Structure 1
Amino acid sequence: MPLALLALAIGAFGIGTTEFVIMGLLPEVSDSFGVSIPTAGFAVTGYALGVVVGAPFMTAIGTRLTRKQMLLMLMGLFIAGNLLTALAPAFGVLLLGRVLASFTHGAFFGVGSVVAADLVAPNKRAGAIASMFMGLTLANVIGAPPGTLIGQHAGWRVTFFIVAALGVLGLLGIAKLVPARPEPATPELRKEFGAFRNPQVWLAMTMTVLGFGGVFAAITYVTPMMTETAGFAESSVMWLLALFGVGMVAGNVIGGRYADRHAMPLLYASLVGLATVLGLFTLTAHHKVLAAITLVLIGLFGFATVPPLQKRVMDHAAEAPTVASAANIAAFNLGNALAAWLGGLVISAGFGYTAPNVVGVGLALSALGVAVFAAWLERRQDGEHRAPRSRVVRTGGPAAPGAEAETAGASGPAVRTSASDAAPHSAADLTT
């Protein structure tokens, strides 16, 4: 593995820790500022919406920077946002700090995905992307759980000071290990945004919103669900988040291994599995052991979708992948925000802490429907693109370039060929 991938994983670890640790600290934040749990959930929603806005915005303003410079700037912003969160005197200031830190998220993973893919051979791109995202998934195993424990015993502010220190470590790793290259972070802004004319890019991002929304419908409110419904002590939330993180790591590894060759079958299987375990979670959340097992499976099926979805967006925006890649990271967090909001609504309506799981089932099945439609549309477009064109050929004169020629075998019917069939229609055909 190139050392640059390690540097990207370190930055991803810090970002993943600040994203997920807040979920284990919602009761502490709620008590600290005197707000309800659903209101404290806006610390999750606000972060996610900040990623949605910040991903394309930050990537666009980094046009004149090299990718390494862009990554360094983003890590500096990450440190500032987490320091503001730790020092927040009011809940509104905490939200501002969360949004500021979130502006790092989408652009970091978007630019980082392009950097990671460029470091390896074309047939290993999904694996390289998965290596970077490994930092994000490990944050749920060795980042968020200890952060939750520290926050519960020493105060949630201490946790965010530590997260800011992780940002400093990521900054130093990127400065030392990521190679400096002269190319700008985005080759041409108009060309980058032109990638969004491809409907497959939008369909892939829609899958991302809905599929990952299914994960966060359950995970955003996992602390009250596990303590109030399953009967776990608050101190157990740490290892429950770690179990979810183990599932994320496993799913990320599976996604990185198979996405280069079997992307759509992997997506189908992952989304069906996700919808199933979320449905079961409404029942298993009442039993400690079964609830813990279900958390692992949610992480596994949810994160198995990440490498294939990120690679799919980059493949369909191949000529200008940076903004599209960052926008897909924004789509992950738009799903987070949507799920956190919908989950808060059903809890506030009195349906209980397991009700967000039902919301998650609907989101996952919707993502599956979009995936099936995207694959059907792709097959149809490929069929139209490769279909031979028939032409009328007059006898007695030479055929025009590209026209059909008829050749009769000694004892068989005429065989039709055409110049358009003999040559590939586009550069894409040379690789299929």
Structure 2
Amino acid sequence: MGGFGIGTGEFAIMGLMPNLSQDLGVSEPQVGHLISAYALGVVVGAPLLAILGSRLYRRHLLILLMTFYAIGNIASALAPNYESLMAFRFVAGLPHGAYFGVAALVAASLVPANKRAKAVSRVMMGLTLALLIGNPLATVLGQSLNWRYAYIFVGIIAMLTVALVFFFLPLNRQEVRNSPLHEVRAFRGAQLWYALAIGSIGFAGMFCVFSYLAPTLLNVTGVDEFWIPIALAVFGLGGFIGNILGGWLFDRLQFRSVGVLLVWAIATLSLFPLASGSIWSLLAVCFLVAQMSALGPALQTRLMDVANEAQTLAAASHHAAFNVANALGPWMGGIAITAGLGWQSTGYVGAAAALAGLLIFAMAWRHEVGATQEIEAARQPSSTSC
């Protein structure tokens, strides 16, 4: 439920971009900056709140973070102008990453080690259900009444989540809690930063396309706004399936699954501009592009594997990295659109971002193989002497 509320709050603006543009008197690329403001809030808030909350029990931290999220979205609904909405979207983004990170740690602690990625994908399922159900519903709500009601809807979901956590998640008093300084000191290691870089850059491709999907439908495909929530639902279905696939694939291929998924992303994003002329081909490609969501549980579990004693900070930073992608995607797409390359050019820009992510994966893989070979070489002399 928490993931559903956060996902709906994060993505609702993408389906309502034309409505906000008209109501606030700004251009659609400027509305894209509101997406980036939220993403920046996640980037700032995820490590900061994870560090500050590391002394708390995870149950108490989840309640505080989701209450904070409710307040940020209600404030967004009441924003009087573009500038204040920009500020409130930043505030609403602050608890996003820390909430998801802590929720993923709670889920992973309840299952055997070889099923952690599947458990994490179930937490992330709320995010993909937001793409499938919450975002189209918020779009219809905003189109029928006013975009502000979408954020009121999100605030209500957030408070419902607070109640559910309070009543159903037991307090584990044997839970290991770290000091903030301990988390920071343990937050190092090349593989940890490689994983965050892959999420920050490689995943930007999906957000580049998704952020401008509504105006692409109206201005390139040439369909009525009736199709916008349908396209968002199709995108959400692809994300839902991709999320399940990501957990399943990582449990079997481990880190190699990330490389496979980035190759898939490059191929499907490159098809987006070619498919944008027809609603049916566009819907098919949207479904395929959205399966990039499989990177979520794969990279989240990878971070758990390499974070050592900085588990809370690393888990939260994963969502900070993905929201760097959420900021980069609209920004890069906006540059291409403003330069006159057309709304559909977001597919090629996104494919370039995924390619950059694949190059980072190759560097990480080479580094890990080299480190493994060094360890094996160091062990050989002692084995011979024995």
TM over 0.5: yes
Match of 2:328 among 313, 320, 338: 338
Structure 2 length normalisation: TM-score?
A: 0.97
Residues 128, 240 of structure 2: 8 Å contact kept = yes
For 2:254, what is the secondary structure of its paired residue?
helix
Quote how far apart the aligned CAs of 1:196 are: 3.0
Gaps of 5+ in 2: none
Residues 278, 357 of structure 1: 8 Å contact kept = yes
Match of 1:188 among 165, 179, 186: 179
Q: How many residues are aligned here?
A: 386
Go from structure 1 to structure 2 and tell me whether the alpha carbon gap of 1:76 and 1:185 turns closer, same or farther (over 3 Å shift): farther
2:360 equivalent to 1:370: yes
Q: Deviations over 1:250-274 (max 9, x none)?
A: 1111111121221233222211111
C-alpha distance in 1, partners of 2:115/2:336? Answer: 42
Residues 208, 329 of structure 2: 8 Å contact kept = yes
Residues 198, 361 of structure 2: 8 Å contact kept = yes
Residues 185, 322 of structure 1: 8 Å contact kept = no
For 1:234, what is the secondary structure of its paired residue?
coil
Aligned equivalent of 1:252: 243
2:69 equivalent to 1:102: no
C-alpha distance in 2, partners of 1:135/1:78? Answer: 15
Which deviates the most, 95-104 or 144-153?
Answer: 95-104
C-alpha distance in 2, partners of 1:73/1:258? Answer: 33
Match of 1:85 among 76, 86, 90: 76
2:123 equivalent to 1:132: yes
For 1:387, what is the secondary structure of its paired residue?
helix
C-alpha distance in 1, partners of 2:215/2:288? Answer: 19
C-alpha distance in 1, partners of 2:156/2:176? Answer: 26
Residues 246, 296 of structure 2: 8 Å contact kept = yes
Match of 1:199 among 190, 193, 196: 190
C-alpha distance in 1, partners of 2:187/2:350? Answer: 27
Name which one, 1 or 2, has greater alpha-carbon Rg: 1
Aligned equivalent of 2:25: 34
Q: What is the aligned-residue identity percentage?
A: 39
For 1:88, what is the secondary structure of its paired residue?
coil
Residues 102, 315 of structure 2: 8 Å contact kept = yes
Greater relative CO, 1 or 2 (CA 8 Å, sep 6+): 2
C-alpha distance in 2, partners of 1:263/1:231? Answer: 42
Aligned equivalent of 1:424: none
Give RMSD over aligned pairs.
Answer: 1.5
Go from structure 1 to structure 2 and tell me whether the alpha carbon gap of 1:183 and 1:111 turns closer, same or farther (over 3 Å shift): farther
Aligned equivalent of 1:6: none
Aligned equivalent of 1:212: 203
Aligned equivalent of 2:263: 272
C-alpha distance in 2, partners of 1:278/1:240? Answer: 16
Task: Could you list the structure 1 runs, at least 4 aligned residues long, displaced by more than 3 angstroms after superposition.
Answer: 183-186, 388-391
Go from structure 1 to structure 2 and tell me whether the alpha carbon gap of 1:229 and 1:187 turns closer, same or farther (over 3 Å shift): same
Residues 55, 180 of structure 2: 8 Å contact kept = no
Aligned equivalent of 2:347: 357
Quote how far apart the aligned CAs of 1:318 are: 2.8
Quote how far apart the aligned CAs of 1:306 are: 1.1
Aligned equivalent of 2:155: 164
Aligned equivalent of 1:383: 373
C-alpha distance in 2, partners of 1:390/1:43? Answer: 56
2:205 equivalent to 1:238: no
Residues 67, 183 of structure 1: 8 Å contact kept = no
Match of 1:325 among 315, 326, 347: 315
Quote how far apart the aligned CAs of 1:388 are: 4.4
2:3 equivalent to 1:12: yes
C-alpha distance in 2, partners of 1:83/1:67? Answer: 25
C-alpha distance in 1, partners of 2:331/2:73? Answer: 23
C-alpha distance in 1, partners of 2:223/2:192? Answer: 42
Residue type at the aligned position of 1:418: S
Residues 195, 324 of structure 1: 8 Å contact kept = no
C-alpha distance in 1, partners of 2:11/2:369? Answer: 38
Gaps of 5+ in 1: 1-9, 392-401, 405-416, 420-432
C-alpha distance in 1, partners of 2:176/2:326? Answer: 26
C-alpha distance in 2, partners of 1:184/1:193? Answer: 19
C-alpha distance in 1, partners of 2:89/2:174? Answer: 31
